[in-house]
């Protein structure tokens, strides 16, 4: 019984190890296939070079046989006729072709397998990207439906609070007497504050981390306005633009979601906005909101600061709408 239990545990461990190994191989199969394909192409090139070194020997042998056949043709028609010579020439050509094929067969086979490996890797990655896009689109649609139900149930103001983390706090102002001797009563008021930045997940800082950033605020403002106009030109002329392309324009590192989200002509706002002049930060720019982002944007536009938090009016997943 003890031996059976030990054997069972060992079997389970082997099964788990095999399963995990298989899962890891499946996970990294595109990388493995690409690396294998590249190595295979290099190896096939080496094999082809080696085969070429032996090609002269095969051709010389064939030329010798052809010359010998031609020399013997017509000497004795009874023993070696022109028909026999043609037959021998055909045989020589076929045998030479077979020998050349054998020389290059390993290189050609390995090359074909290597190209197939790379194409297989591409197919796997394409399938995964499509699945990722569908999943992301599903989450986006589910979130949109959820927000619609929230708005229908409790109103747009509550939806705004939930989305951007708005909190209502109560402040009490103590009674006091001003310099003119006028007495003021104690006063209690409720204000709204942001629990966090209050921006979308696509917002990025344009600062020193960008290769296109300069220390001069005016230059940065002109640059951003020009890139925003250029992005809108692309949207109107081509019909679509991805957020990843705009990140590239600004020298900002791409994110995974930026590859599939963006803008499509005729969908959403139908224009690209970096949020440079959006001092309201999604509708919260008033005296009741502790809005440091609005102040930063105002200072940037006025030339007092050389960095700014950009928030893009992304229309959503557009990869499937192109």
- Please count the other Cβ atoms lying within 10 Å of the Cβ belonging to residue 36: 16
- Please count the other Cβ atoms lying within 10 Å of the Cβ belonging to residue 316: 18
Q: Sign (positive/negative) of CA torsion 303, 308, 313, 318?
A: positive
pLDDT of residue 23: 62
Residue 284 has pLDDT above 60, yes or no: no
**199 CA to centre of own chain:** 23
Question: Is the model more confident about 168 or about 58?
Answer: 58
12 within a domain of the structure (yes/no):
yes
pLDDT of residue 292: 60
121 within a domain of the structure (yes/no):
yes
Spatial separation of the C-alpha atoms in residues 161 and 193, rounded to whole Å: 10
Q: Do 175 and 254 reside in the same domain of the chain? A: no
Instruction: Give the pLDDT mean for 204-221.
Output: 89
Instruction: Give the pLDDT mean for 134-139.
Output: 77
pLDDT of residue 196: 52
Tokens of 210: 């960008």
Which residue segment(s) compose the domain that 178 sits in?
Answer: 158-194
- What proportion of the chain, given as a percentage, has pLDDT over 70? 75
| First vs last C-alpha separation in the chain | 65
Helix, strand, coil percentages for the chain (3-state, nearest 5): 60, 10, 25
Q: Torsions phi, psi of 70, nearest 5?
A: -65, -35
**Structural contact between residues 239 and 263, judged by C-beta atoms closer than 8 angstroms:** no
Confidence bin at 277 (pLDDT 50/70/90): confident
Q: Do 189 and 234 reside in the same domain of the chain? A: no
pLDDT of residue 320: 65
Q: Do 237 and 310 reside in the same domain of the chain? A: yes
What does pLDDT average to over the chain?
80
Spatial separation of the C-alpha atoms in residues 271 and 236, rounded to whole Å: 8
pLDDT tens digits along 218-239? 999 999 999 999 999 999 998 8
How many structural domains compose the chain?
A: 3
pLDDT of residue 156: 79
pLDDT of residue 263: 92
Q: Do 169 and 209 reside in the same domain of the chain? A: no
36 within a domain of the structure (yes/no):
yes
Spatial separation of the C-alpha atoms in residues 115 and 109, rounded to whole Å: 10
Tokens of 90: 């055909």
Residue after which a domain boundary falls, among 143, 168, 194: 194
Question: Is the model more confident about 169 or about 195?
Answer: 169
Q: Do 306 and 216 reside in the same domain of the chain? A: yes
135 within a domain of the structure (yes/no):
no
Q: Do 249 and 283 reside in the same domain of the chain? A: yes
Range of weakest confidence among 220-224, 248-252, 275-279: 275-279
Range of weakest confidence among 147-161, 246-260, 279-293, 299-313: 279-293
Confidence bin at 285 (pLDDT 50/70/90): very low
46 within a domain of the structure (yes/no):
yes
Range of weakest confidence among 149-158, 194-203, 219-228, 309-318: 194-203
pLDDT of residue 230: 95
Q: Single out the residue of 118, 311, 284 nearest to residue 206, CA to CA.
A: 311
- Please count the other Cβ atoms lying within 10 Å of the Cβ belonging to residue 1: 5
- pTM reported for the whole predicted model: 0.52
Spatial separation of the C-alpha atoms in residues 127 and 48, rounded to whole Å: 34
DSSP 201-269: TT-EEESTTSTT--S-HHHHHHHHHHHHHHHHHHHHHHSEEEHHHHHHHHTPPP-TGGGTEEEETTSTT
Confidence bin at 288 (pLDDT 50/70/90): very low
Question: Is the model more confident about 81 or about 96?
Answer: 96
């Amino acid at each position: 019984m003890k031996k059976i239990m030990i054997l069972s545990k060992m079997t389970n461990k082997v099964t788990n190890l095999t399963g995990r190994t298989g899962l890891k191989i499946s996970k990294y199969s595109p990388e493995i296939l690409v690396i294998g394909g590249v190595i295979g192409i290099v190896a096939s090139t080496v094999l082809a070079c080696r085969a070429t070194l032996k090609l002269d020997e095969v051709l010389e042998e064939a030329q010798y046989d052809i010359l010998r056949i031609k020399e013997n043709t017509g000497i004795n028609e009874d023993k070696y006729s022109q028909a026999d010579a043609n037959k021998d020439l055909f045989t020589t050509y076929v045998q030479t072709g077979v020998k050349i094929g054998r020389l290059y067969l390993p290189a050609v086979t390995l090359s074909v397998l290597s190209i197939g490996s790379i194409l297989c890797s591409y197919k796997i990655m394409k399938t995964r990207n499509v699945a990722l896009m569908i999943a992301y689109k599903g989450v986006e649609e589910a979130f949109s439906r959820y927000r619609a139900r929230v708005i229908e149930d409790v109103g747009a103001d509550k939806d705004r609070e939930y989305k951007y983390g708005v909190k209502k706090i109560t402040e009490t102002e103590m009674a006091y007497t001003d310099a003119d001797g006028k007495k003021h009563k104690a006063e209690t008021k409720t204000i709204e504050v942001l629990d966090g930045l209050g921006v979308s997940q696509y917002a990025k800082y344009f600062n020193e981390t960008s290769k296109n950033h300069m220390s001069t605020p005016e230059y940065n403002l002109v640059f951003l306005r020009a890139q925003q106009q250029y992005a809108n030109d692309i949207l109107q002329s081509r019909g679509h633009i991805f957020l990843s392309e705009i990140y590239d324009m600004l020298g900002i590192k791409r994110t995974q979601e930026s590859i599939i989200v963006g803008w499509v002509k005729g969908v959403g706002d139908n224009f690209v906005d970096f949020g440079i002049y959006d001092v309201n930060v999604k509708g919260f720019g008033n005296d009741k909101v502790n809005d440091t982002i609005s102040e930063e944007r105002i200072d940037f536009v006025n030339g007092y600061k050389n960095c700014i938090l950009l928030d893009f009016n992304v229309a959503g997943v557009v990869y499937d709408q192109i």
